Amino acid sequence: MKNSVKIALLGIGNVGSGVWEILERNHDRISKYTGVPIEVKRVLVRDVNKKRNVSVPADLLTASYADIVDDPEIKIVVELMGGLNPAYDYIKQAIENKKSVVTANKAVISHYGRELIELARRNQVELRFEGSVGGGIPIINTLNKSLAANEIDTIVGIINGTTNYILTQMTNQGVDFDTALKMAQQKGYAEADPSSDIDGEDAAFKLSILTFIAFGVQVPPQDIPREGITRISEKDIQYAAQLGYTIKLLATAKKHDGKLDLHVHPALVPNNHPLAAVNDEFNALFIKGDAIGEFMMYGKGAGSLPTGSAVMGDIMDIAAALPAGSPSKLNRLNGFDEDVERLKINGEGWGEYYIRLEVVDRPGVLGKISTALGNYEVSIASVVQRGRGERIVPLILITHRVEKRRLNQALEEIQEFDVVDEVASILRVEECSG
């Protein structure tokens, strides 16, 4: 194709096939808006003989990265393979060979984002990663450009589609965890290794990326305290619902007194909070900026076409600027701030908590437990006891705002009581103010 911008796709799985399909379906519109046609010149895969969801001409497929990185005609490399390596090496080599890069790889960007952005700047090419957070939701460009004039102090979001899909299926359809996970995998939402989704790692990668854009500080994802959803039981989902809450996996970044609270954790969200109504693979981000005030973005956080949409936006933006050779300079990432001190929440933060104890059904048990909590300055907001007539019954407590360290000390003492069978669950309660 004459005068087209030549690109290469690294990977044509869930997201790669979404990009392919959008390019085919909206080809004329894309050419019109970009000012130049976009042509896929090569597609890197592991297995060139594998059957694909989209029909890619056989002569485009290659298993050799040299066919792409050494081809001077290819101006944009679109990395959609996943994992740290070889994706990181391939991105680096592309930039060093003066090619712009678009990626949806949160593992690479959360670990090496700053280094790669600086490398791209030195090589006068672009590195874009809109698809790496929030699937189709354009959160990166919004923070980077549209909200660039704001000081951001809060980001609270549901940023993993797989876990939100699983929790929705468990809550609304009574589907068990394993079945819901299989369904999420079939729909193309889960990572190649889905433990990254369910253990909260994927959300920590994304929170790390959001943190360096919104607050200018790169926090290694492994330093973000996180808990996934594997310990959420059907019982807790039901009790939470009876108390007026929905359990969601939240990612939170809050700045106060020059410090950042960062964590990924399951939480009881009050049903009147907008995040409680975010279901299935949808994601949502609730943000507070000093000029815009409260702001929310909502959309499909995973899946072939929604993520393909975000990736295509980046490709088109770069392709449109290629003839002029001077892409937009406006970018929050022009100013990193290494001085923000991080406050890790690990057992030290404050919050409201839901606690499920399994206790002997006997008079005086509640009194004994509330006295022990009181001794550690843990005050109870509400108590519910279920299932009378059995020997062991659940006792559910919601605390007022407490110091987690003090709550842990109280619960260590309580679990030794002979009337306490187990401390079955401790979950945060999201405070309505965001």
Binding residues for ligand NAP, total number by CB under 6 A: 27
Which run of H or of E encompasses 240?
helix 234-242
CA distances from 103 to 3, 134, 185 (A): 24, 13, 21
CB of 164 to ligand NAP, least distance (A): 12
Is 50 considered catalytic here?
no
Query: What, of ligand NAP, ligand HSE, none, does residue 44 touch, CB below 5 to 8 Å by kind?
Result: ligand NAP
239 binds ligand NAP (CB under 6 A): no
Rounded distance, CA 424 to CA 403, Å?
A: 20
Nearest Cα to 316, choosing from 17, 37, 127? 37
With CB cut-offs between 5 and 8 Å by kind, which of ligand NAP, ligand HSE, none does residue 166 bind?
none
- Give the C-alpha separation, 238 to 386, whole Å: 12
Contact 358, 420 (CB under 8 A): yes
191-220 residues in contact with ligand NAP (CB under 6 A) are 191-192
Q: Residue 386 CB, nearest distance to ligand HSE (Å)? A: 33
Binding of ligand NAP by 221 (CB under 6 A)? no
Would you count residue 270 as binding ligand NAP (CB under 6 A)? no
Cβ nearer to ligand NAP, comparing 53 with 409: 53
Q: Least separation, in Å, of the C-beta of 148 and ligand NAP?
A: 24
94 binds ligand NAP (CB under 6 A): no
Does residue 313 belong to the site contacting ligand NAP (CB under 6 A)?
no
Stretch that binds ligand NAP, among 11-19, 166-174, 228-236, 366-374 (CB under 6 A): 11-19
395 Cα distance to chain centroid: 33
Q: How far is Cα 283 from Cα 134, in angstroms, rounded to an integer?
A: 6
Catalytic residue among 92, 106, 206, 300: 206
The interface partner of residue 11, options being ligand HSE, ligand NAP, none and the CB cut-off 5 to 8 Å by kind, is ligand NAP
Q: Give the helix ranges, DSSP H, for 70-228.
A: 87-96, 106-122, 139-141, 161-168, 177-186, 195-198, 201-214
Contact criterion met (CB below 8 Å) for 159 and 201: no
Retrieve residue 52's tokens: 């694909």
Query: What are the catalytic residues?
Result: 206
Residue ranges that bind ligand NAP, judged by CB under 6 A: 11-16, 44-47, 50, 80-82, 86, 104-106, 131, 135, 188-189, 191-192, 302-303, 307
